[in-house]
Amino acid sequence: MNPEHPEEQQGKPIGRRVLLGTLGLGALGVVTAPTLQRGLESFLASASDKDPTGLTDLLPNGGGFRYYSVTSSVPRKSATTYRLTIDGLVDHPRTYTLADLRAMPQTRMVRDVQCVTGWRVPHTPFEGVRLSRLLDAAGVRKGAGAVRFTCFDGAYTESLTLDQARRADVLVALRMQDKDLGHAHGGPVRLYVAPMYFYKSAKWLSGITVTEDVRPGYWEERGYDVDAWVGRSNGRDDEPTT
Ligand SMILES: Nc1nc2c(c(=O)[nH]1)N[C@H]1C(S)=C(S)[C@@H](COP(=O)(O)O)O[C@H]1N2
Ligand SMILES: [Mo]
């Protein structure tokens, strides 16, 4: 597998060994809000309808997205109330509105979404502004080595090294599945880190802070890898690549 493009293994079905191997982590990692989960069932059904391979039928919940939040409720932000702040070790700290972000060049990518607990949603389009573009606009200072993400749920955090954050396949995403990001999936704006397990893709993104060092995020303080490359982290490093 090309280490720069771990997503190239996207066509590979998830082996039984992977699913079995992650059940322990899954029990730890799945935190769902029962009411919202129910509200999402129609969405889940339509997500699996879009999978002609039937691959998602093999997954524990019959396929499709699961709704994850580490908090029991999350405030809603609209197109008018949403703000994204970039600060820390930058020359030009700035607060963006949703309209500001929409006015910037958008990048669309289609990859498999993969949660570390084993579920996967094949060929999922995401669209938004490259994080590298926002970092360049902010003017990253010497001595910076990492980027920290905060969320308006008030609890979740994530981080990337500066090199990871500058990859072309890391987006500040405004759209998913060719629709504006809904609240349940982290709208109006979430992070999308295509080459890594989905826990890196922080929902309800509100802050981007350029820092010296990586500080482990919410799940990483609870045992998951900070460098969360799909297929070569979290004990999955030995997956055969066929
Ligand atoms: N703010 C926030 N972002 C988050 C999470 C969360 O609980 N809170 N869960 C992560 C995990 S473990 C996964 S698998 C995905 C789930 O995204 P979804 O709810 O859109 O399916 O969001 C990631 N980002
Ligand atoms: Mo996850």
* pLDDT tens by residue, 52-81: 333 444 444 434 788 899 999 999 999 999
* pTM of the entire predicted model: 0.77
From atom 16 of ligand 1, which residue's Cα is the shortest distance away?
A: 68
Report pLDDT digits (tens) over 109-158.
Answer: 999 999 998 889 999 999 999 999 999 999 999 999 999 999 999 999 99
Mean pLDDT across 38-52: 38
CA gap 104, 221 in Å, rounded: 34
Instruction: Provide the pLDDT for residue 43.
Output: 40
Tell whether the model's pLDDT for residue 44 goes beyond 50.
Answer: no
Instruction: Provide the pLDDT for residue 8.
Output: 34
- Nearest residue to 168 (alpha-carbon basis) of 114, 203, 128, 141: 128
d(CA 75, ligand 2 centre) in Å = 21
CB 191 less than 6 A from any atom of ligand 1 = no
From atom 13 of ligand 1, which residue's Cα is the shortest distance away?
A: 199
Mean predicted lDDT score pLDDT of the chain: 80
Mean pLDDT across 169-189: 97
Name every residue whose Cβ is closer than 8 Å to that of residue 20 and which is 6 or more positions away in sequence: none
Mean pLDDT across 46-52: 39
CB 186 less than 6 A from any atom of ligand 1 = yes
CB 74 less than 6 A from any atom of ligand 1 = no
CB 196 less than 6 A from any atom of ligand 1 = no
d(CA 166, ligand 2 centre) in Å = 22
Instruction: Provide the pLDDT for residue 240.
Output: 53
CB 65 less than 6 A from any atom of ligand 1 = yes
- Residue-by-residue DSSP string for 116-135: TTS-EEEEEEEEEEEHHHHH
